[in-house]
Structure formats: C-alpha cells, structure tokens
Amino acid sequence: MLPTPILAVMALAAVALVVQSRRENSPKPEAKGQADFGMMTPERQVYYEVAMLYAPASEDDIKNGKVKALEDLADAFEEVGCKDQAIMLRKKSCSRSKPPEIQEARKQVYRDALASNDKAYVERVANAFYEEGCWGAAKELFEYAAGLK
C-alpha cells in the first residue's frame, strides 16, 4: 500500500488532469445560461473536497507562495461560477505554501488546542483553521471540541 502523502499527491494530480482536460475539451462558458453554472454538482463537490483535504505543497510551491494545482482548480471553479469555492481553494493554496517556520507555528497552535480543555478556545482555533482552508485540522478540532464540556 502506498503511503498517504503519495496517495494524496496522486489524487490531486488526477483531479488537476481531469479539470485541465475538461477545460480544454469543453465549450467556454459564455454560457452563464448553462444549467449547472454556479452550482456545486456532485462531481465538482468531490473535486473540491479532495483538494481541500489532501492538497500537498512542493518546495517550488513554498518558494512561489501558491500551490499551482490548487490555483488551477480555483480558476476552473471560478470559470463555472463557483466563486466561493474558488476563494476557499485560493486560501488553501496560500495556507499550504507558507514557509516551514509558519507551518511549525500553526502545528503548535493545533497541538495546544488539542491539549486544551477549553471548548470555546478549541472551537475558535478550529474556525480559524477552517477559514484558512485547513479543513483536515479544523475537522479534528471540531470533533475534539464536541467531546469537551
């Protein structure tokens, strides 16, 4: 079995390839009249959730300040009218491409929240992670907070 980071990279690469091929092979959306323009179809929802939960960042992404695969996916979502999802994908892109010292500081905040018994604090940290596009960490923190009194 392949390690989880490799599977995540493969999943994101597959999503990017599918999005790119569809973008090249589909009519351009002067079609705001398309039936699904601006709607999160089940297919789009899967792409979005996979990207938000498993997007890896390479060293080049960290140097450039953005994760190219996420930026491309955000562009594709914007083209089909899903602006809120495009914004969140861009936030995720910026979040994943921060320098190592910032990533470590975030990890410490995450660890501190998991060690806390203050439900309100844990929920505030979870909301902050969610708003930055760090859904995996936010999900775990929300689950932890739900178990606190």
Whether residues 122 and 62 fall in one domain: no
pLDDT at 105 over 90: yes
Distance in angstroms (rounded) separating the CA atoms of residues 59 and 86? 23
Regarding whether 37 and 54 lie in a shared domain, the answer is yes
pLDDT tens-digit map of 29-41: 444 556 788 888 8
Same domain, 90 and 109: no
Residues 130 and 89 in one domain: no
Q: What is the Cα–Cα distance from 147 to 149, expressed in whole angstroms?
A: 7
Contact (CB, 8 A) for 1 and 9 = no
Which has the closest alpha carbon to 57: 110, 99, 21? 99
**Mean pLDDT over the full length of the chain:** 81
CA distance 146 to 127: 13
- For the cut 60, the answer to whether the pLDDT of residue 11 exceeds it is no
Query: Looking at residue 37, what is its pLDDT?
Result: 87
Task: Tell me how many domains the chain contains.
Answer: 2
Q: For residue 117, what are the domain limits? A: 100-146
Region 76-92 average pLDDT: 91
Lowest mean per-residue pLDDT among 10-19, 61-70, 122-131: 10-19
> Within this chain, do residues 128 and 57 fall inside the same structural domain, yes or no?
no
Residues 86 and 18 in one domain: yes
Are residues 111 and 88 both part of a single domain?
Answer: no
Q: Are 47 and 65 in a shared domain? A: yes
Proportion of the chain above pLDDT 70, given as a percent: 76
